[in-house]
Amino acid sequence: MNNDLQKQLDKLLDAYSHQYDIARDVTVEGGYFPATATFYLRDENYLISKKHVLNAVENYDYTYFYLTDHLDAKTLKKQIDLVMKEGTARIKPHREHMSSFVSLVVLADTIDEEAKKLIKKTRFQKYYRLALHGWMEFHIAATESSTKTFLSNPAGKGIKKTLEQNLGSR
């Protein structure tokens, strides 16, 4: 594995660590990720005291990081399927669940044109009980370090911006 990619991952994880819980060297059924990041936010409104909760909402973000020297469409499809399987299994919709994001961040030296097209066109949203129990959305973003190119699907524009801010040349 390229040492430069590992440095980029460390820099990115440092930015994520302010709001996310970071786990290193994560092995899941069917694959491995050098890191994952988990975000959880719960917001409650009270009536008189904390014993009387009027309403509450919970938001989650499960981000998986993948490093590779060269990314082709076949490998990307495999990683997308793996992240979708693992990420959606972690979502537990309930009355107070508002939203969950499952995200894949790819750091690569080079990316095939077919893989770039796949990144841009990949979309997935799911509503739980007509959105009464929340919804989920899949985000994907990637950086090609050889050309300093940043890519994302429409939902992953926030991750793309984070990649640009932390890994772009200044």
Residue 157 located in a structural domain? no
Residue 150 located in a structural domain? no
Distance linking the first and last C-alpha atoms of the chain: 25
Domain count for the chain: 1
pLDDT of residue 168: 79
Residue 155 located in a structural domain? no
pLDDT of residue 170: 45
Contact 43, 54 (CB under 8 A): no
Residue 115 located in a structural domain? yes
Question: Residue 42 CA to chain centroid, in angstroms?
Answer: 19
57 three-state secondary structure: strand
pLDDT of residue 41: 95
pLDDT of residue 46: 84
pLDDT of residue 47: 83
pLDDT of residue 149: 92
Residue 149 located in a structural domain? no
Distance (Å) of CA 16 to CA 22, 57, 73, 78, 93: 8, 22, 27, 25, 25
Residue 94 located in a structural domain? yes
pLDDT above 80 (res 2): no
DSSP E strands, 4-152: 21-28, 31-47, 49-71, 97-111, 125-127, 135-144, 149-152
More confident residue, 49 or 79: 79
Residue 97 located in a structural domain? yes
Residue 107 located in a structural domain? yes
CA-CA distance, 108 to 143, in Å (whole number)? 6
88-142 residue pLDDT tens:
999 999 999 999 999 999 999 999 999 999 999 999 999 999 888 999 999 999 9
Reported as a pLDDT band with limits 50, 70 and 90, residue 143 is very high
51-83 residue pLDDT tens:
887 888 999 999 999 999 999 999 999 999 999
CA-CA distance, 94 to 154, in Å (whole number)? 27
Q: Which domain holds residue 75?
A: 3-138
